[in-house]
Chains A and B, each alone.
Chain A
């Protein structure tokens, strides 16, 4: 089922990659924000079905962004999946504690990204 996905990621190339991949492999609609602040606004405005969130961003990083998303009543309910190059246990754990339902590691395989998201969402956030 095609979803409306909000990608919060500062690298424009990766934005393009994710959008193309998810469109091609699932027909999902992807809108993008280049930073945490923009992401918060867009999330409140568009009410996406899922937020893909990068960790390393200037100004407001992924952890601060998810905290803010969960604090805002309009965006609290939206499932958040981290997409990050940082993949150590401590970081994955932190993401989970902050309320993320999943954690995907870069570089990702563009041909399986969509199905990985499917798996995360359908398993109710247990990966």
Chain B
């Protein structure tokens, strides 16, 4: 093996640069790699000093060390910074070895250099990154510490659980509220904490964690008041809510406990005070009223006139004082937020009549006539019975007091959208404009001189206002000097049972039933509703005209013999008014003789005699209302509800071929909306559907009179239990199990169901 040749190859092909110099560091040879590293050619380098490549940036100490090492050990390894021919800097990992001759004299230096610039850069970057990470961590720590400090300095106890219900954060206040240290809380399941809470607090409910369907964490915001089981119980307000990150994802739930023992105590003291004062004031009043009453009642024998008069004055003022005490207590209870209202549906008319009866005596004393003019169909209001009486009695009593002798006080009422209004009007002196706004203030007096006689407490209207406003209503006064005043207040109407928010029917027909006998009105309305019509009622011509002009009415049934305005006059007016002349009118009356010709001339669409033949009435109405809006006259409308599009298509086609008009829907919710707009003549219903399933749809339809009787064909894949079959019933109903011959069966069943009853 030619070792020289090999070495020669090594020297020439080495990836590291090799530079050879003489003992004076003058370069005698370089290898190709060194040329590459330095950018100089061999010719340029030979003859130069080795420091031709120096950058000037390597610290002196390195060179000192280098020479020392070379002298001491004959070799050195280190890093220096060099500069290429083009001026670029590069890091060199350099080894220098001294070559000595046999005599031990230095004859040459061999340097081997490797470019480690890249590595150096990466090291630098790493150091930089580490510093940044360090800084970031410190900042994060500082933030975390600050937040922790905030958590710990809050007065409230705060617990957070993650989406699995495990406690991840608790501040130290938790210890004093729940009796478990914060450290022990962390990691516990919220259910364990909940059962612990039931031992600490009276009643359950604290730290509840009820996952939603599919096991999702609870997302409602809840508040709860709990009391501890200690001898001196403390009261806490628990607030719980979902915790969301910056993009709105729920990452857990938080429970905050605030000590409200003191506030609860204050509330208790307020109630106590009110109750105590009431007793303290009333006790001596009892003796005073008692003594006066007995003496005036004759217990000490007959009284001289002067004594009677004076004692009478004392008695009146005693009563006045008692009323004042009651009013003050009432109003302080109201202002402390302690007015208890028991809301219930009630008849405003009944309340008004009762109040009038109560004040009849007082009214008669002043020769005042109390009248009530209330509509018969006034819906019920939702209010506290006693409080409503209080308001009515107060207003009526005021009206009587401030009316001139021999005048009238009138009570009227009505419905305005979702509020019932009641108005008490007198014919007294009236209230000056400046006082209208402040008349409902406490102790306000219009005119001290004259009202002192009337013995009011000055709180009556303030109390009325508080009561009315507590019910969600308004109270106001209209007045004209010399003419009289009218006080009006509103109360909420009894709400219909809560329904899902579906749009009300728009296209269905509405019939206005007019008859002075409210029973007949109700009867006809009921009949029509079961047929699927919407209905309105009126008991007088005026009412009928008002309704026909302002609401959407498709047909009118009209009684002729009515007090006030005769039915004929009503018909005339309807036909004269452009707003109402197109509405078909069906006269429903016991007597029409003599008027037939005029009725014909007027263009009345039909006449039905009384006693009413229901079928005839319905047939006439149907006929009078003619074809459906969409022009498919006389074709019965079948609604097909099935989430399978094939079923809808095929059944639809078969029915259309059978001569029926068809509408389809793919789920219960859509079906309900469509049915509300346009009542079908028959409903075909699949049970298993998304959104609103068949059972729920049928339930909704059963709740409404005008869809209750729709013939129904139920399609089921499974056999139904008897109980289920009972629930799935509207008008005439059939159940059909889905099978191979389904489509053909359907049409024949539909024909069956549609046959006239």
Interface residues of A (CB under 8 A from B): 11, 13-14, 16-18, 20-21, 24-25, 56, 84-89, 106-111
Q: Is the CB of A14 within 8 A of B290?
A: yes
Which residues does chain B contribute within 8 Å of A18, judged by CB atoms? 290
Tell me which of B281, B283, B299 contacts A14 (CB under 8 A).
Answer: B283
Write the chain A residue with the least CB distance to B287. A13
Which residues does chain B contribute within 8 Å of A109, judged by CB atoms? 289, 293
How near does chain B come to A93, taking the closest CB pair, in angstroms? 12
Q: Between A and B, how many residue pairs show CB distances below 8 Å?
A: 68
Write the chain A residue with the least CB distance to B271. A88
Which residues does chain B contribute within 8 Å of A87, judged by CB atoms? 278
Q: Is the CB of A110 within 8 A of B297?
A: yes
Q: Is the CB of B322 within 8 A of A107?
A: yes
Interface residues of B in 296-329 (CB under 8 A from A): 297-299, 322
Q: Is the CB of A89 within 8 A of B293?
A: no
1/0 per position for B257-293, CB-CB distance to A under 8 A? Answer: 0000000000000000001001101111111111101
Which residues does chain A contribute within 8 Å of B279, judged by CB atoms? 56, 84-86
Which residues does chain B contribute within 8 Å of A14, judged by CB atoms? 283, 286-287, 290
Q: Is the CB of B283 within 8 A of A20?
A: no
Write the chain B residue with the least CB distance to A106. B286
A–B Cβ pairs within 8 angstroms, 24 of them: A13-B284, A13-B286, A14-B283, A14-B286, A14-B287, A14-B290, A16-B287, A17-B290, A17-B294, A20-B290, A20-B294, A24-B294, A24-B298, A56-B279, A84-B279, A85-B286, A86-B275, A106-B283, A107-B288, A107-B322, A108-B289, A108-B290, A110-B290, A110-B294
Whether B722 sits at the interface, judged by CB under 8 Å, is: no
Whether B86 sits at the interface, judged by CB under 8 Å, is: no
Which residues does chain A contribute within 8 Å of B288, judged by CB atoms? 107
Q: Is the CB of B283 within 8 A of A24?
A: no
How near does chain B come to A3, taking the closest CB pair, in angstroms? 19
Whether B340 sits at the interface, judged by CB under 8 Å, is: yes
Tell me which of B275, B284, B294, B322 contacts A21 (CB under 8 A).
Answer: B294
Write the chain B residue with the least CB distance to A105. B282
Interface residues of B (CB under 8 A from A): 275, 278-279, 281-291, 293-294, 297-299, 322, 340
Tell me which of A13, A24, A85 contacts B278 (CB under 8 A).
Answer: A85
Cα distance, A85 to B275, chains bound together (Å): 9
How near does chain A come to B735, taking the closest CB pair, in angstroms? 52
Which of B278, B281, B293 has the largest number of chain A CB atoms within 10 A? B293
Q: Is the CB of B286 within 8 A of A17?
A: yes
Q: Is the CB of B286 within 8 A of A111?
A: no
Q: Is the CB of A85 within 8 A of B297?
A: no
Q: Is the CB of A17 within 8 A of B275?
A: no
How near does chain B come to A54, taking the closest CB pair, in angstroms? 9
Which residues does chain A contribute within 8 Å of B286, judged by CB atoms? 11, 13-14, 17, 85, 106-108
Cα distance, A111 to B294, chains bound together (Å): 7
Write the chain A residue with the least CB distance to B274. A88
Write the chain B residue with the least CB distance to A84. B279
Tell me which of B285, B287, B293, B322 contacts A111 (CB under 8 A).
Answer: B293
Write the chain B residue with the least CB distance to A25. B297
Q: Is the CB of B287 within 8 A of A11?
A: yes
Cα distance, A85 to B280, chains bound together (Å): 8
- In order of increasing CB-CB distance, the 5 nearest A-B pairs are A17-B290, A85-B282, A110-B293, A13-B287, A107-B286
Further 13 A-B residue pairs, CB within 8 A, beyond A17-B287, A25-B297, A108-B289: A11-B283, A21-B290, A24-B297, A56-B283, A85-B279, A85-B281, A106-B282, A106-B283, A106-B285, A107-B288, A107-B290, A108-B286, A110-B293
